[in-house]
Amino acid sequence: MMTGSDAVTRARTRLWCLGAAIVVFGVLPGCRRPAPNRLQGYVEGEFVYVASPLAGKLEALYVERGAQVKAGDPLFALESEPEKAARDEARQRLEQARATLEDLQKGKRPSEIEALEAQLRQVQAALELSQEEFARQEKLFASGATTSQNVDRARATRDQDRQRVTQLEAELKTAQLGSRLDQIAAAEANVQALEAVLTRAEWALSQKRRAAPQAGLVFDTLYRPGEWVAAGKPVVSLLPPQNIKVRAFVPETRVAGIHPGDRVRITVDGLPGPLIGTVSFVSPQAEYTPPVIYSRESRGKLVFMIEIVFDPETAAQLHPGQPVDVLLGP
């Protein structure tokens, strides 16, 4: 049978255990509180998407996902038969124009004035259209609705039409005046116009084969051989090591002490020691987590994003999306 003294002793023991538990559970959250100079961050990668400005079937893919490439290494090739045919045609027309120029330099030939006038009206109409198209492409490029390749293509067409107008105007003057020098000048202008056509055809052919613009990791390949690739659609995405960075968010109370060029330490799961990085950017724009109104009481939730970069060897150890800890200060 339990005596009165035993009941009192057991009650005191329970109260002591309950008090000890309260103390332990009250201390543990404080132990888990992160250090004030430690921030949570993540690895971010800025990819380089390699595409062709021309459409075509993917003929060859020279790289695989996960491979390392150097600047200039071939990445892929699109079907290029139409571009090869256009280049060959332009080359033959240029040879013909050069032969005509050589023939005019040897002796005078009669001209058909009415035919030349009709041809001149035709190319003048074509020039007006190409000038309007070039102006339209420039406006679209300024608004970001088109690519620089389309602007270059419109400019080349306009220049070609201008050269053709110059050629026919000179030929018409030659026919009217009977001057050999004007006939030769027209033939020279024709040669220059066809040289521009050949340059454009060779450029279009070169765009069907793309090489790595810089060294990096082949992060992904977006098409397979035999698939149709639309103009401007990326086929390969590269991740250069210099494009790997860490992003973290600094409390408002500490952002004034952080400047571009400051060195920080980064700890990553699985690596034995910290990595050394350099602050490259401190955002001038504040963010709230969660969004609240500005007030003195809520400034503790105000944070600023910073970006940290590394040398290529260090950056190669990081992977986009990887969580990290950022250690500020010495």
pLDDT by residue (tens digit) across 82-109?
999 999 999 999 999 998 888 777 644 5
For residues 57 and 106, membership in a common domain is answered with no
pLDDT confidence of 6, banded at 50, 70, 90?
low
Beta bridge partners of 51: 234
For residues 255 and 197, membership in a common domain is answered with no
Which pLDDT score is estimated for 69?
95
Residue 101, domain member (yes or no): yes
Residue 93, domain member (yes or no): yes
Which pLDDT score is estimated for 94?
94
For residues 102 and 194, membership in a common domain is answered with yes
DSSP code of residue 274: P
pLDDT at 36 over 80: no
| Sign of the CA dihedral with 258 first, then 304, 284, and 239 last | positive
Which pLDDT score is estimated for 300?
55
Structure tokens belonging to residue 326: 């950022």
Residue 301, domain member (yes or no): yes
For residues 194 and 122, membership in a common domain is answered with yes
Residue 14, domain member (yes or no): no
Which pLDDT score is estimated for 178?
44
> Final residue of a domain: which of 220, 239, 258?
239
Which pLDDT score is estimated for 299?
53
Give the whole-number percent of the chain exceeding pLDDT 90: 40
Residue 232, domain member (yes or no): yes
Domain count, the chain: 3
For residues 72 and 216, membership in a common domain is answered with yes
Give helix 148-177 / helix 180-206 axis angle, nearest 10°.
160
For residues 95 and 171, membership in a common domain is answered with yes
**What pTM was estimated for this model as a whole?**
0.59
For residues 87 and 196, membership in a common domain is answered with yes
pLDDT tens figures, 119-166: 888 888 988 998 988 888 888 888 888 888 888 888 899 999 899 889
Structure tokens belonging to residue 152: 């270059």
Start-to-end CA span in the chain (Å): 66
Full domain range(s) for residue 250: 35-45+241-327
Which pLDDT score is estimated for 9?
54
Residue 11, domain member (yes or no): no
Which pLDDT score is estimated for 31?
47
For residues 87 and 175, membership in a common domain is answered with yes
For residues 148 and 235, membership in a common domain is answered with no
For residues 137 and 86, membership in a common domain is answered with yes
Residue 12, domain member (yes or no): no
> Final residue of a domain: which of 239, 260, 281?
239
Residues 212 and 237 sit within 8 Å (Cβ to Cβ) = no
